[in-house]
């Protein structure tokens, strides 16, 4: 049998001579075993040592382990226990590095002294620590250290210190993913004074790190451990390794929820085999713990950043912002909102002023609508409303709201001050109104001036001839008097002709008649008067019968009548300081029960029957009412109760209604004035 060994040995010797890096350790070990069997104890001692050394030098940790174990057995056989335990310890260490934990446990079972001896060496070093030791002590310490940090900078510092300290590294880098790029987040180095951790961010370069190792670790998500980078290995060509003569290198991907979130890179350029499997095991735990913590801290810092942005949004005070709940309270408000409503922040707390209190009672409905929208969709589209200010005045605003979460009862509101805008609108409207008024007066003024001129010329002439006639008569000059009187007659005729010419001119634009639904017309006019009503704080109510027959008439002219009556009502109430300003526009079917010659409400009676003759429209206000002695006069042209009035509106309105075969009259109701007009259902146009 020994002869067979001798034959194999000769092959092995040849290989060991040509490739000592791979085979010298094995050849030495076999030679040592041969020497032991042959009883050449001195040779065996020497050869075992050679096998161990060459295996270690070439990074063949498993061979180093076996060599040590066999050497230990040899010493046990010689009863040299000191040497035996020394080799056994080394063997156990090598198996541990190799990851053969079962083998380590087996050795420890066979040689309990080995374990006891380790314990006495204390917990400061991991190098010879038993596997059970590593599992708990360090892991607990590390995970506690790492997970207790929530601030990113502190976490990185702790992580780097722990990694360097427990792995025995010289230099360490933490690389984290920033979007698509990997960036060096932190660098830790050991020096005389201890571990220095710097938090400078820098990009990855071949100056600072072996990129090939980095990329490999990232791609494969596997740990890369080089126990001695100075010898041949797959990454030997890396420029960094070549330049730095790195020896022990470890690169751990940090994996969180299946994603590579970063890398932990450690190196030791002084000693090989620093990063043993036990250390790697700890570091792996550390790395995964760190990945989670880093992600959490990143979320936390993102949160802080977002919080800062939101704070900026609120404190920028460009628009009013407040946080509210559905109970009606204002929980928080920014300066801009406080300025809009004129309250102090503490008023919302100490005086229990809520958004409900800020809303004028008649606008609560708008709020209720917004709340319904909020409950349904989580947001309320911006809408216009008014708030009460602290001084009791009102401020027009645009408000939009959002619930923090659907179904919740807290939310945020954005408030835009519309005062400036409203003022602009108001001025524009005033200017428009004035312009319209001026235009109306100008047109009417010019028209009447030209009519007056046309009429006054012949009228003046008539006066002159008549005066002359009287004087001729006084002077008994009958001839001249007759001539003057003839001229009077002639000129009067001429004036008459002018008047009929003007009438003919007006008759050139006959009313455009149409069948129309008077309720629709009322609706259009109410919309038209909307801004005027709002500006004067007048509320308008319509009470319209829904079974009205169509009337035949000129839509534009009837609109003019309705608008005229509504505007008159608004103006009648404009000086009213107390009580409601209310207009009611109503329509109903009526039947004419007598002649309309004496225009009066008494001549119509409400009817539900089909044969109603007229549609009656009433515009009723809550103003001071009409002067009882002047109720009929107000329909005369140029009769006006308004300082700026022309006194034409009612006169024109009445003539329009009469041209439609209807009549228009006014009366007092006790609470104000009412203007009514009746239009015939069938074509009642006077021919």
Partner 1 sequence: MIATNATVFVVDDDAAMRDSLRDLIRSVGLRVELFDSAQDFLRSERLDVPGCLVLDVRMPGQSGLDLQRRLNEAGVAIPIIFITGHGDVLMGVHAMKAGALEFLTKPFRDQDLLDAIQQALDRDCAAREGRAATEAIHRRFASLTSREREVMTRVVGGLLNKQIAAELGTSENTVKTHRHQVMEKMGAKSLPELVRMADRLGSLITKS
Stretch that binds partner 1, among 40-48, 486-494, 597-605, 639-647 (CB under 8 A): 486-494
Shortest distance in whole angstroms from residue 418 CB to partner 1: 45
Structure tokens at 518: 């008077």
Tell how strand 194-198 and strand 202-203 pair up.
unpaired
Q: In whole angstroms, what is the distance from residue 113 CA to residue 91 CA?
A: 14
Shortest distance in whole angstroms from residue 637 CB to partner 1: 20
**Cα of 405 vs its chain's centroid, Å:** 13
Nearer to partner 1, 379 or 468 (CB): 468
Q: How many CB atoms lie within 10 A of CB 192?
A: 4
Shortest distance in whole angstroms from residue 452 CB to partner 1: 8
Q: Does 448 bind partner 1 (CB under 8 A)?
A: no
Residue from 143, 244, 484, 622 in contact with partner 1 (CB under 8 A): 484
Binders of partner 1 among residues 489 to 528 (CB under 8 A) are 491, 494
Contacts with partner 1, 647-686, as mask; x by CB under 8 A: ----------------------------------------
As a dihedral over the C-alpha atoms of residue 102, residue 107, residue 108, residue 109, rounded to 10 degrees, the angle is: 90
Shortest distance in whole angstroms from residue 575 CB to partner 1: 32
Nearer to partner 1, 393 or 467 (CB): 467
Q: Give 623: exposed, middle or buried? Use CB within 10 Å, 0-12, 13-18, 19+.
A: buried
Long-range pairs of 114-123 with CB within 8 A, sequence gap ≥ 24: 114/85, 114/88, 114/89, 117/85, 117/89, 118/89
Q: In whole angstroms, what is the distance from residue 579 CA to residue 574 CA?
A: 12
Q: Scanning the structure block, which residue is given the tokens 């509320």?
A: 539
Binders of partner 1 among residues 185 to 214 (CB under 8 A) are none
* Cα dist from 238 to 172, 188, 250, 308, 315, whole Å: 18, 22, 15, 44, 53
Contacts with partner 1, 404-443, as mask; x by CB under 8 A: ----------------------------------------
Residue from 453, 503, 508, 686 in contact with partner 1 (CB under 8 A): 453
Binders of partner 1 among residues 454 to 483 (CB under 8 A) are 456-465, 467-469, 471-472, 475, 480, 483
Structure tokens at 157: 């510092």
62, 69 contact by CB (below 8 A): no
Shortest distance in whole angstroms from residue 499 CB to partner 1: 16
Shortest distance in whole angstroms from residue 431 CB to partner 1: 27
Shortest distance in whole angstroms from residue 444 CB to partner 1: 16
Q: In whole angstroms, what is the distance from residue 181 CA to residue 394 CA?
A: 56
* Cα dist from 418 to 320, 322, 386, 424, whole Å: 12, 17, 9, 10
Nearer to partner 1, 261 or 484 (CB): 484
Shortest distance in whole angstroms from residue 656 CB to partner 1: 31
Shortest distance in whole angstroms from residue 445 CB to partner 1: 12
Nearer to partner 1, 97 or 465 (CB): 465
Question: How many Å is the Cα radius of gyration of the chain?
Answer: 54
Stretch that binds partner 1, among 31-39, 48-56, 63-71, 445-453 (CB under 8 A): 445-453
Among 539, 536, 573, smallest CA distance to 363 is for: 539
54, 66 contact by CB (below 8 A): no
Nearer to partner 1, 421 or 486 (CB): 486
Binding positions for partner 1, rule: CB under 8 A? 449, 452-453, 456-465, 467-469, 471-472, 475, 480, 483-484, 487, 491, 494
């Amino acid at each position: 049998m020994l002869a067979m060994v001798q034959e194999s040995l000769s092959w092995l010797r040849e290989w060991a001579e040509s490739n000592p890096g791979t085979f010298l350790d094995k050849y030495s070990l076999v030679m040592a075993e041969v020497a032991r069997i042959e009883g050449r104890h001195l040779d065996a001692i020497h050869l075992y040592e050679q096998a161990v050394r060459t295996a270690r030098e070439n990074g063949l940790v498993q061979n180093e382990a076996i060599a040590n174990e066999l050497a230990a057995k040899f010493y046990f056989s010689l009863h040299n226990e000191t040497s035996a335990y020394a080799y056994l310890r080394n063997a156990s260490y090598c198996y541990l590095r190799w990851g053969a934990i079962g083998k380590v446990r087996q050795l420890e079972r066979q040689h309990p002294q080995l374990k006891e001896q380790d314990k006495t060496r204390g917990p400061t070093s991991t190098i010879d620590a038993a596997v059970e030791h590593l599992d708990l002590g360090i892991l607990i310490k590390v995970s506690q250290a790492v997970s207790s940090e929530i601030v990113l900078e502190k976490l990185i510092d702790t992580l780097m210190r722990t990694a360097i300290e427990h792995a025995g590294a010289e230099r360490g880098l933490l690389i984290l993913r920033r979007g698509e790029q990997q960036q060096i987040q932190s660098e830790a180095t050991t020096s005389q004074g201890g571990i220095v951790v710097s938090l400078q961010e820098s990009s990855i370069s071949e100056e600072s790190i072996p990129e090939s190792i980095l990329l490999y670790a990232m791609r494969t998500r596997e740990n890369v451990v080089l126990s001695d980078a100075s010898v041949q290995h797959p990454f030997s060509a890396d420029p960094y390794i070549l330049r730095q003569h790195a020896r022990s290198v470890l690169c751990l991907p940090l994996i969180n929820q299946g994603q590579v979130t970063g890398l932990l890179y450690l190196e030791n350029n002084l000693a090989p085999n620093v990063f043993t499997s036990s250390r790697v095991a700890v570091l792996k735990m550390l790395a995964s713990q760190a990945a989670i913590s880093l992600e959490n801290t990143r979320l936390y810092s993102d949160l802080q950043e977002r919080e800062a942005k939101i704070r900026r949004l609120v404190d920028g005070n460009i628009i009013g912002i407040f946080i509210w709940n559905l109970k009606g309270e204002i929980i928080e408000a920014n300066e801009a909102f406080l300025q809009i409503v004129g309250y102090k922040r503490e008023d919302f707390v100490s005086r229990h002023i809520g958004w409900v209190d800020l809303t004028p009672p008649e606008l609560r409905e708008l709020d209720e609508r917004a709340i319904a929208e909020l409950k349904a969709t989580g947001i309320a589209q911006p809408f216009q409303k008014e708030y009460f200010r602290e001084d009791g005045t009102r401020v027009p605003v645009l408000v939009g709201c959002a619930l923090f979460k659907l179904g919740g009862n807290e939310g945020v509101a954005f408030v835009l001050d519309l005062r400036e805008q409203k003022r602009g609108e108001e001025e524009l409207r005033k200017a428009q109104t004035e312009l319209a008024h001026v235009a109306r007066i100008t047109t009417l003024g010019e028209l009447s001036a030209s009519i007056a001129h046309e009429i006054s010329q012949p009228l003046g002439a008539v006066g002159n001839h008549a005066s002359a006639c009287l004087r001729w008569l006084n002077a008994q000059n009958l001839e001249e008097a007759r001539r003057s009187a003839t001229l009077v007659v002639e000129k009067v005729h001429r004036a008459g002709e002018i008047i009929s010419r003007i009438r003919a001119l007006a008759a050139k634009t006959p009313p455009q008649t149409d069948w129309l639904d008077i309720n629709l017309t009322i609706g259009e006019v109410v919309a038209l008067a909307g801004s005027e009503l709002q500006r004067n704080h007048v509320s308008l109510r319509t009470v319209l019968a829904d079974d009205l027959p169509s009337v035949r008439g000129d839509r534009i002219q009837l609109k003019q009548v309705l608008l005229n009556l509504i505007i008159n009502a608004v103006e009648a109430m404009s000086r009213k300081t107390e009580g409601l300003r209310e207009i009611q526009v109503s329509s109903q079917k009526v039947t004419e029960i007598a002649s309309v010659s004496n225009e009066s409400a008494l001549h119509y009676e409400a009817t539900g029957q089909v044969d109603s003759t007229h549609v009656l429209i009433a515009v009723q206000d809550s103003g001071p009412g009409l002067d009882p002695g002047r109720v009929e006069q107000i329909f005369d042209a140029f009769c006006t109760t308004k300082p700026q009035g022309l006194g034409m509106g009612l006169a024109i309105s009445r003539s329009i209604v009469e041209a439609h075969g209807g009549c228009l009259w006014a009366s007092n109701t006790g609470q104000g004035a009412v203007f009514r007009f009746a239009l015939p259902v069938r074509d009642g146009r006077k021919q």
